[in-house]
Structure 1
Amino acid sequence: MDHAADNEVVRIDYNVFAISDSGLPVTPSPRELAASSGLICTLDTGAVIATGIDMGYVRVEVRALDTEPRLEAVSEWDEVVDASVSAPLGDLRVEAILGDAPSLPTLTPSGPGTYRIRVSVRGRRDRLKGVTDDVVESYLLEVWPAPSSPEVVHRLHMNRFSV
């Protein structure tokens, strides 16, 4: 059963947006960024997602799920990565680094615990390092309860944290 699904345009600054647990800070170290896939960098209380644009807007769709989604739609996305994320307070939400938080629903309706997040993206390379008011990138965040496990890269074209 899906708990929530919604999408919204999210403000991007410094080529990232955050997944934060109850608004706790999500500031990765250079070491954490270097160890990540370049699409998602997971932290103790959430994660940061690397965008192609440096400033502007992206469309983010979120889906809170009970179980892992099927991988049949991977070919529809440019990049797809699964990672584990911790939600000690049980309220993971999409956050803008600067500006107002989007009104997307919680990604963790099951409460505190460990979750898997599948980040799928389209258009991340279209305006690399650009500044735009046009929405050129789309993200799908699918989250479900699961034990922690290593990151799985299904498709990835670039490590944005090192560009």
Structure 2
Amino acid sequence: MTVLFDGELHVHYRFVNLTEEGEAPDLSRASGGQRNGLCGAAEPGALAMVTGLHTGEVPFVVTWHDTEPPVDDAWEEIVEVSFDPPSADLALSAFEDFHEIRLPSVQSVRARFCARGMDEAGDKDVRLADEPALDSYLLELWPAPPAPDRILKQTSMRAAYWHEAAARIPPPPTPEERAAARAAAGRAEAQRRARAAAAAERQQWGGRPPSPRLRELRGNARNMARTHRDLLDELADLPAATQREVAHWLACQAFTLAGMTGDPLAAAALDALESGAPLPPPFADERSAFAYLHPDPSRLTGTVVFLSVDEAPHRPHPIHRPSFAVPALFGATESDPLQAVVEAFTHARATFDDRADELDAALRARFLA
């Protein structure tokens, strides 16, 4: 015999558990399907034991045996259960009292729970620090194959009450039923996630799922879909050559409204866009284009240069239209013609600002009538 614990446990609400650290069995189901209600093993990998004392210190001993020990008839209550310890390192706990228990081996275990003085301790209810113990407990453990629980001895009314209560608790689910329940819960969670993802996608794309073609897009595609989904679908149905024409037209409209078409350098950039040639300086890259537009950044005081496309269309301050027209030009150079439409449209609309409805109407009249 090996003594694993010999001391006093401070119980509260009449329960003692042997589990993995941090785990606690469901006391309402711990004795489900059992004949005895003093030591519940229906929750996998745990023992839930009942004491007579409600609150206070109770003497408690845990022992390990290589083989089944003889039954000591000196105990008033004796029950047996089988359980599979989840690991060799377990915790004997009662409310906030906690003690580490290390089993010599991990295998199917038979547990014999013995008690005495349950009625006396239950009637007393609470044991104070200077009062003698009225109930005491022994938990004997040894390796053994699984077997039904047994009531070897019962003398107290408290034990009879817990045995009768256990008879009213339905048996726990079988391992197969638990596995089926986990699988069903996994399928339900996967369906919930799929529905949530579909709803989020619909919201991101203006209220309905995107077509495979729209899913290929990046950049401002979702922004445009949220505000102009019907228009985006119509533009997506156009031939690629027409989409390229739309992108070029949008960049030209932005440059025109920004007052840039009279600038030879800007006109050369539009000509290059139309012919498919690389954009000439200073429009060869965004950094040089911005430096060209704003050689003296201090002159931009009080002028909005960068705006979110989701902002309200009516602003109490002017914008610098060329700063939005140039990104429309760069957007129109995208290799994917539909992506070019999306980017050119987004920045051309920002260029038009409070006159954006004019751009929408002109676009429909020219390409979608």
Normalising TM by the smaller chain, what interval? Answer: 0.7 to 0.9
Aligned equivalent of 1:109: 104
Q: More displaced, 49-58 or 122-131?
A: 122-131
Aligned equivalent of 2:66: 66
- Structure 2 residues without counterparts, runs of 5 or longer: 166-369
| 8 A contact 1:52–1:160 mirrored in 2 | no
- Structure 1 residues without counterparts, runs of 5 or longer: none
C-alpha distance in 1, partners of 2:90/2:99?
Answer: 13
The equivalent position to 1:144 in structure 2, one of 133, 142, 157, is 142
Comparing both chains, which one has the higher relative contact order based on Cα–Cα distances under 8 Å and sequence gaps of 6 or more?
1
| 8 A contact 2:3–2:61 mirrored in 1 | no
Displacement after TM superposition at 1:20 (Å) = 1.0
> Sequence identity of aligned pairs in percent?
27
TM-score between the two structures when normalised by the length of structure 1 = 0.83
Aligned equivalent of 1:46: 46
C-alpha distance in 2, partners of 1:10/1:160?
Answer: 23
| 8 A contact 1:39–1:159 mirrored in 2 | no
Aligned equivalent of 1:120: 114
The equivalent position to 1:81 in structure 2, one of 56, 79, 82, is 79
Displacement after TM superposition at 1:63 (Å) = 0.6
C-alpha distance in 2, partners of 1:160/1:114?
Answer: 29
The alignment partner of 2:135 has SS state of strand
TM-score between the two structures when normalised by the length of structure 2 = 0.39
- What code does the residue aligned with 1:131 have? V
Displacement after TM superposition at 1:131 (Å) = 1.7
Aligned equivalent of 1:9: 8
Displacement after TM superposition at 1:84 (Å) = 0.4
Question: Larger helix proportion, structure 1 or 2?
Answer: 2
CA shift in 2, pair 1:145/1:23, >3 Å: farther
Displacement after TM superposition at 1:25 (Å) = 2.2
| 8 A contact 1:22–1:90 mirrored in 2 | no
* Larger Rg, first or second structure (1 or 2): 2
C-alpha distance in 1, partners of 2:22/2:104?
Answer: 16
- What code does the residue aligned with 2:98 have? A
| 8 A contact 1:22–1:89 mirrored in 2 | no
| 8 A contact 1:20–1:93 mirrored in 2 | yes
Number of residue-to-residue matches in the alignment: 155
Query: How much is the aligned-residue C-alpha RMSD, in angstroms?
Result: 2.2
